[in-house]
Amino acid sequence: MDEITFAVLGTGGIGRRAFEVSQHKDALTPVAACDRHGVAVDFDGLDVDELLAATEGNIDNEVATDGGTGATAAESGVKQHGERKGVVASSQARRSEDPIQDIIDHGDRIDAVLLALPNYEHDFIPRTADRFAEGDYSGVMIDVLKRSRVIDMLDDRSDEFEDAGITFICGAGATPGLLTGAAALAAQSFVEVTSVDIWWGVGLKSGYEDNRGTVREDIAHLPEYDIETARELSEDEIEAIIDDHDGVIEFEDMEHADDVLLERAGVCDAEDVAVGGILDVRNDEKPTTTTVRVTGRTFDGETATNTFQLGDETSMEANVNGPALGYLKAGVRRNRAGEYGVFGPADLMPGF
Ligand code: CWL
């Protein structure tokens, strides 16, 4: 495959790990990074080691709490524990008033853009995509978003993406993403799928600081909270919720887009997909084995369950960023073949 230049929007946990993992993959050249404060661009390839060393350990509160609105942590009423300089801590970066526009302005030399942005406002990623389409970007855009409702908002833009020449890959992290693709593959044995059960385990002790945004997003899935109320929680309130659960929070019936992504790929009805899991922020070991169970009926009348499991030693970071970059490559292949519009992870697997 020809070399792929890519940019990452967001230098939080996901953005940084995506750069790191990309160094272990063929044909990927990181050329741009940005966050709310600044931008780094180098078409000879960013120095990822320097970028990571400079941005690592910068506490992620600011990005994790404002939902990308541009409000400071103080304005959004969230107590700030640490100063985050973000990408401008890197010698390759400069401050910018509008870092996303800076990336768009270089868009003709960028094959793919990974959106590693928080999405507490569920239209933030769709609105960012609009800016790229309006700015005449024509390449791959890929996100690792989670909420089912966002997929519809992207689907609404599919004509716009087709006109622009954008191949948009949505929900391409772990769940949705890797596990959605696994479900689509497991479904191949069946002529009718009756249920898809996704159950994840994440141990996040040493990764906790880097993944505060993910923890906040998860808390929004608890029955007592929603996106808005979880966004308003202070860091102390989040700590209190975690303490209440002794560090181990169990989730059921999460609004993860695996359901609509499997439905739009024709695998099963969205209502037959369930996503839940266990998050342990006091241990690095997974509290439960991440498992996908696909139950269906074969053409010759049997009922069975195909099961896919992740190794307990694989980290969430490995299971989000490996697939995100793999789907990015699949997207570039489509884009170079002239296929534009909105694709989910199941669309990039065998058809059903
Ligand atoms: O999908 C994500 O980005 C994170 C999700 C949750 C913690 N917010 C679950 C990730 C599942 C990873 C499964 C694994 O590593 O075994």
pLDDT tens by residue, 254-272: 999 999 999 999 999 999 9
Kindly write down the DSSP assignment for every residue of 332-351, as one continuous string: HHHHHTT--EEE-GGGGS--
In angstroms, the CA 116 to CA 8 distance is 7
Three-class SS state of 311? coil
- From the list 153, 150, 151, 200, the residue with the least C-alpha distance to 346 is 151
Q: Is 217 a catalytic residue?
A: yes
Q: Which residue's CA is the closest to the ligand 1 atom numbered 5?
A: 175
Looking at residues 6-14, what average pLDDT do you find? 95
Using a 6 Å cutoff on CB, does residue 290 contact ligand 1? yes
Ligand 1 atom at shortest distance from the alpha carbon of 176: 1
CA dist list (Å): 25 to 3, 11, 74, 181, 329: 11, 19, 39, 20, 10
Is 164 in contact with 340 (CB distance < 8 Å)? yes
Q: Find the 92 Cα to ligand 1 centroid distance in Å.
A: 31
Indicate if the pLDDT at residue 80 is higher than 70. Answer: no
Looking at residues 87-95, what average pLDDT do you find? 97
Q: Would you list the domain boundaries of the chain?
A: 4-175+317-343, 178-312
ipTM of the predicted assembly exceeds 0.90 = yes
Of 75, 83, 121, 146, the active-site residue reads 146
Beta strand 140-143 with 167-169 is parallel
The CB density around residue 341, as the number of other CB atoms within 10 Å, is 17
The CB density around residue 92, as the number of other CB atoms within 10 Å, is 19
The helix/strand count (H/E) of the chain reads as 13, 13
Q: Is 122 a catalytic residue?
A: no
What pLDDT does 67 receive? 39
75-79's contacts with Cβ under 8 Å and 24+ in sequence apart are 76/231, 76/232, 77/232, 77/234, 78/234, 78/235, 79/234, 79/235, 79/236
Helix (H) or strand (E) holding 220: none
What pLDDT does 71 receive? 39
31-50 confidence digits (pLDDT tens)? 999 999 999 999 999 999 99
The residues, ordered by sequence, that sit 6+ positions from 344 with a Cβ below 8 Å of its Cβ are 151, 169, 170, 171, 176, 180, 257, 261, 264, 265
What architecture (CATH level 2) is domain 4-175+317-343? 3-Layer(aba) Sandwich (3.40)
Average pLDDT of the chain is 92
What pLDDT does 65 receive? 38
Among 199, 320, 321, 327, which residue has the most ligand 1 atoms within 8 Å of its CB, making it the best to mutate? Answer: 320
Looking at residues 277-288, what average pLDDT do you find? 97
Give, in degrees to the nearest 5, the angle at Cα 175 between 174 and 180.
100
Q: Is 221 a catalytic residue?
A: yes
Helix (H) or strand (E) holding 128: helix 124-134
What pLDDT does 56 receive? 86
Using a 6 Å cutoff on CB, does residue 175 contact ligand 1? yes
* Beta partners for residue 239, in sequence order: none
Is 136 in contact with 107 (CB distance < 8 Å)? yes
The residues, ordered by sequence, that sit 6+ positions from 252 with a Cβ below 8 Å of its Cβ are 274, 276
Structure token digits, residue 170: 């949505």
In angstroms, the CA 113 to CA 235 distance is 30
Q: Find the 316 Cα to ligand 1 centroid distance in Å.
A: 5
Indicate if the pLDDT at residue 72 is higher than 80. Answer: no
Indicate if the pLDDT at residue 292 is higher than 70. Answer: yes
Confidence of residue 274 (pLDDT cuts 50, 70, 90): very high
Phi, psi of 287 (to 5 degrees): -75, -15
* Beta partners for residue 40, in sequence order: 33, 93
Ramachandran class of 46: left when φ > 0, alpha when ψ lies in -120 to 50, beta otherwise: beta
Indicate if the pLDDT at residue 98 is higher than 50. Answer: yes
- From the list 129, 118, 209, the residue with the least C-alpha distance to 168 is 129
What pLDDT does 120 receive? 61
Using a 6 Å cutoff on CB, does residue 257 contact ligand 1? no
Using a 6 Å cutoff on CB, does residue 180 contact ligand 1? no
Confidence of residue 132 (pLDDT cuts 50, 70, 90): very high
